[in-house]
Chains A and B, each alone.
Chain A
Amino acid sequence: MRAVIAEDLALLRDGLTRLLRDNDIEVVDAVTDGDALVHAVVRERPDIAIVDIRMPPTFRDEGLRAALELRERVPDTAILIVSQYVEGTYARELLADGRGGIGYLLKDRVMDVDAFVEAVRRVAAGGTALDPEVVAHFVGRHDRLAALTPREKEVLALMAEGRSNAGIADVLVLTVGAVEKHVASILQKLRLPPSDETHLRVLAVLAYLDST
């Protein structure tokens, strides 16, 4: 797998590069601002671009804007945003086109190397990876979820993070069959169309939550 990194702080750029290489992900370029990211991705066509939000020259949301531009220009490259803060607005913008291959994680998540690498692979393969903080932002403020049982809410949150049924079963120590039943119940209670593909499921859930 080939990746491009955009991160202005050398400390984190180098660390991330090493982390990915140690896990057999080739880092074909590591750049420090949004324009350079767009160029690198257009040139290299990597499987995934791992992008910091705040970069030079303005230190605001360069990374995000570059990512949105790349979604249009190079739709085959997945985007994983890693940032020191999560903003619901940014997540909404990233998810707006309703396609998979998108992720938004706090930088803290790199500490769990295996889970992080797994998220990188999942996003690169067209799935989603949303930080629990992002999910909490969507899920936390909706009373339409009142109909769900506590267990179903847990399942929904994990679904929204982009986990597969097997992944959810692992986290909650349930059988896959039990998770499937919960998922079906959630989709039914929220009146969402049933779907097999993980990222479609996530996007449907988020779109539903966002529309309220």
Chain B
Amino acid sequence: MTENGAMIFLLRRAAHRSPWAVLLFDLFLLVVWAGSGSSSFWPVWVWLPTGLVLAAGWWGREKRSPLTQQLGYAGLIGLFLIGIWAAAGFGNFWPVYPIAVMGLGIGLRAVTRGAASEARVEELTVSRAGAVEAAESQLRRIERDLHDGAQARLVALGMNLGLAEQQLAKDPEKAQEHLAEARKAAAAALQELRDLARGIHPPILADRGLDAAIRALATHAGIPVSVDVELAKRPPATVETAAYFVAAEGLANALKHARASRIDIDVHERGDAVVVRVLDDGHGGASEVKGGLHGLRQRVEALDGTLRIASPDGGPTVVEAVLPCVR
């Protein structure tokens, strides 16, 4: 019995590693049988298991092959089995069972794959629309910020300089006031441009990576923020940027709405994905309907990631994004 088990084990390994050797072996048995002059066709008892093992090997290996290819293999295996049946002297048509099983398997696979790819198409359509919308609304926001911010400040700056110029001779004191206003407007315009640039792509993120960029965010928070970034290597730029904005938006949300007293930001790897988690001890009730969290979801889903927001009334709030690095 144990010998039999060992035989089957060896056979399986052989079938997986070198299917042609197994086929040769089966042929060899045929020759031995022909030579032995035995009336009973005994090689069938070796052919049957080796045939099934080979078929399983093909099946496993060709898992991702197109349906037609699978059908082809199944047909070959079916013919092979029928050949054995014929060589064994016909009789009870046993190949019907394995053929039926193969047919059922392929049918099931076809149905589930069809449904899966339909679902995927749906998912991609939604996430693509979301990505386009997110980009569009971000551009609008940038235009508005420029128009109402830096551009307006520069106009005010120029206006104050003009007034100062006009007043210089007749009212130097007033001119000085205008100049001071102009200097303030220049500083404010610079600040707004810097903030805007940071909102588009923070320079420190490109220079130093996620850890430094998130720590820089944390230092401006005004409450204790613990930052724990554990990544073996830098993720792709798109993932890194998305991860940064998850942290930034989660942080901003906690500071603005949750009245939190401390915040934990944690970034680590899970398989091929980067997981970003922002946890605060505030009063919860974060809403995705308006504001940054909705845009964040679109951003994450555009990268095939998932965003989970758990924020029961009374807190705590957890914002967690899983961002796959390959697809």
Residues of chain B within 8 A of A59, CB atoms compared: 144
Q: Chain B: interface residue count, which band?
A: 10 to 19
Say yes or no: A12-B162 contact (C-beta < 8 A), given A59-B144, A84-B147.
no
Within 8 A of A (CB), among B43-77: none
Say yes or no: A112-B167 contact (C-beta < 8 A), given A12-B152, A84-B147.
no
Residue of A nearest to B151 (CB): A84
CA of A12 to CA of B188, assembled, Å: 14
B81 to chain A, nearest CB (A): 74
A188 to chain B, nearest CB (A): 39
Assess the A111–B162 pair: CB atoms within 8 A: yes
CB of A9 within 8 Å of the partner chain:
yes
Residue of B nearest to A9 (CB): B152
A114 to chain B, nearest CB (A): 7
Secondary structure of the A contact surface, majority rule: helix
CB of A54 within 8 Å of the partner chain:
yes
Assess the B161–A111 pair: CB atoms within 8 A: yes
CB of A2 within 8 Å of the partner chain:
no
CB of B197 within 8 Å of the partner chain:
no
Assess the A108–B163 pair: CB atoms within 8 A: no
CB of B155 within 8 Å of the partner chain:
yes
Within 8 A of A (CB), among B109-166: 144, 147-148, 151-153, 155-156, 158-163, 165-166
Mask for A36-56, Cβ within 8 A of B = 1, else 0?
000000000000000000100
27 A-B Cβ contacts within 8 A?
A9-B148, A11-B152, A11-B156, A11-B185, A12-B152, A12-B155, A12-B156, A15-B159, A16-B159, A18-B163, A19-B163, A22-B163, A22-B166, A22-B167, A54-B147, A84-B147, A84-B151, A84-B152, A108-B158, A110-B162, A111-B155, A111-B159, A112-B162, A113-B159, A113-B162, A113-B165, A113-B166
Q: Measuring CB to CB, which residues of chain A are less than 8 angstroms from any residue of chain B?
A: 9, 11-12, 15-16, 18-19, 22, 54, 59, 84, 107-108, 110-114, 116
